[in-house]
């Protein structure tokens, strides 16, 4: 049991023993009451934050087994990637410059059917975890096949995730259709929910155009009974709007609302094409909406009305989507693009200020991903998921405003330390939980087989 003393009491007594103290020249807490602390520190015991204050006060009140120095570094919450398909890093660059539906139907679905198996998932997940740890992402929402194998990799690599088991109405890797895929998803959720760990199970019916209305209603009902999240593609593309209108006489958002989906712990990815009425509906139901600017631009899905969602009070996060449609898992790119894109599209430089966008990648993103009780800001009682960002680079000099630099100047290579649950996963850019060379070798071996399959496909066309 973790006992936290008021800092004034702790300072008056002998130093209290903790597991770790992490310093930062600037500590960006994402706590609205004290967003930035100059020369700050965080004390951690049993994976939980027990104190956040100036370094002087923390070191006077606490002694630690491990000290992580923070001179010339920003200490901040780890980034939250609210929507991705991690193992799809093995399809990175496989098919580019295509509209969403042809990309899915002509390349992704066929290649998944041929290559995705448990070993593919393990290697792809390891490669993705490497990329995320090195880029400062500490939590993510995953939607992909063989979630058991993926969850095991996450536990070993040290990250935190909402792992959503996919279900779809037609054959997919390992399944013949809806009945067996949804049965497997229910089994996964129940079994993983009974375990303590950094993986939270969830359901993932793919999208309203690949899952029938009755099956969406079934997922909503079971997810509510089991009290777990649903990760879901929603209103992503104009072709989706046309299909749902033709099938059901409705828009995607109103259609899934009719199936009870908005009454669940819904994590809705993309939401590029909602109406003003639907934006209010999403806000009222506290749906977590995940903005994926890079992926939506690359597939020409459009530009989501995020400023309007901010004004309406929608719970918003950021995501990369899978590396097959991005082509990376770099959350810093999503942060910067989210801050710039809407200014240009709507001709208003005051839209999406840096503080709002950084919140979408941390505190707000955690809330949208159903992780808000655990992570997202550096406050007492939250899990110790945090990163250090180096500020000695030329592109980080001079530094007038820390939040501005985190949104407009930082890149993934500036992340030097990644900590999850009080465990160091990377220090001074050195990975602690994964062997990068072995993972890359396995990934390249799989890629060689995919390359041959693509050559055969091209020859047959």
437 assigned binding-site residue: no
Binding residue per annotation — 85? yes
User: Are residues 368 and 315 in contact, defined by beta-carbon separation less than 8 angstroms?
Assistant: yes
Contact 236, 270 (CB under 8 A): yes
**Is 112 part of any known ligand binding site?**
yes
Chain centroid to Cα 151, Å, comes to 15
Tell me the three state secondary structure of residue 295: helix
Distance CA(207)–CA(269), nearest Å, equals 10
Question: Which residue, among 36, 35, 38, 40, has the nearest Cα to 7 in the 3D structure?
Answer: 40
Burial class of residue 8 in the structure, from the number of CB atoms within 10 Å of its CB (0-12 exposed, 13-18 middle, 19+ buried): exposed
Is 342 flagged in the annotation as binding? no
User: Token pair 């259609």 is at which residue?
Assistant: 255
DSSP-assigned states of every residue in 252-264: HHHHHHHTTGGGS
Give the separation between CA 201 and CA 189, rounded to whole angstroms: 5
Task: Say how far apart CA 402 and CA 117 lie, in whole Å.
Answer: 44
Distance of alpha carbon 89 from alpha carbon 125, whole angstroms: 8
User: Tokens 């059917």 correspond to what residue?
Assistant: 113
Name which of 115, 102, 156, 131 is nearest 322 in CA terms: 131
Which residue's structure tokens are 């966008």?
357
423 is in an annotated binding site: no
Binding-site annotation: residue ranges for substrate:
112, 206, 236, 321
Binding-site annotation: residue ranges:
83, 85, 112, 206, 233, 236, 321
Binding-site annotation: residue ranges for Zn(2+):
83, 85, 233, 321
């Amino acid at each position: 049991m973790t006992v936290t003393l008021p800092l004034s009491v702790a300072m008056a007594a002998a130093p209290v023993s903790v597991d770790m103290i992490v310093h930062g020249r600037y500590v960006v807490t994402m706590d609205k009451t004290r967003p930035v602390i100059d020369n700050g520190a965080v004390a951690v015991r049993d994976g939980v934050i027990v104190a956040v204050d100036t370094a002087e006060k923390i070191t006077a009140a606490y002694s630690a087994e491990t000290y992580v120095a923070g001179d010339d570094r920003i200490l901040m919450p780890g980034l939250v990637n609210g929507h991705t398909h991690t193992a799809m890093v093995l399809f990175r660059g496989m098919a580019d410059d295509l509209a969403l539906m042809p990309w899915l139907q002509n390349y992704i679905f066929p290649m998944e059917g041929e290559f995705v198996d448990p070993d593919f998932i393990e290697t792809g997940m390891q490669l993705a975890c490497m990329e995320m740890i090195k880029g400062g992402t500490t939590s993510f929402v995953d939607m992909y096949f063989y979630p058991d194998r993926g969850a095991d990799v996450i536990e070993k690599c040290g990250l935190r995730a909402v792992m959503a088991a996919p279900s779809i109405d037609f054959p997919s890797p390992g399944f013949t259709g809806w009945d067996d895929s949804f049965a497997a998803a229910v089994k996964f959720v129940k079994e993983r929910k009974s375990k303590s760990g950094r993986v939270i199970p969830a359901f993932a019916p793919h999208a309203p155009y690949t899952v029938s209305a009755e099956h969406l209603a079934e997922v909503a009902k079971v997810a509510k009974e089991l009290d777990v999240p649903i990760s879901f593609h929603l209103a992503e593309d104009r072709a989706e709007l046309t299909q749902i209108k033709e099938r059901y006489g409705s828009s995607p958002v109103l259609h899934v609302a009719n199936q009870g989906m908005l009454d669940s712990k819904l994590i809705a990815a993309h939401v590029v094409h909602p109406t003003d009425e639907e934006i209010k509906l999403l806000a009222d139901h506290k749906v977590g909406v995940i903005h994926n600017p890079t992926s939506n631009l690359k597939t020409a899905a459009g530009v989501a009305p995020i400023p309007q969602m901010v004004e309406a009070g929608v719970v918003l996060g950021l995501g990369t989507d899978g590396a097959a449609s991005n082509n990376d898992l770099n959350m810093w790119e999503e942060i910067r693009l989210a801050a710039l894109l809407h200014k240009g599209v709507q001709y208003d430089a005051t839209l999406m200020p840096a503080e709002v966008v950084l919140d979408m990648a941390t505190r707000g993103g955690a809330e949208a991903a159903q992780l808000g009780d655990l992570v997202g800001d550096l406050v007492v009682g939250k899990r110790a998921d945090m990163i250090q960002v180096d500020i000695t680079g030329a592109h980080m000099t001079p530094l007038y405003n820390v939040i501005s630099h985190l949104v407009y100047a930082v890149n993934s290579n500036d992340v030097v330390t990644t900590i999850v649950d009080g465990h160091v996963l990377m220090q001074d850019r050195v990975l602690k939980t994964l062997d990068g060379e072995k993972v890359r070798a396995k990934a390249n071996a799989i890629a060689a087989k995919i390359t041959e399959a693509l050559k055969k496909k091209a020859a047959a066309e």
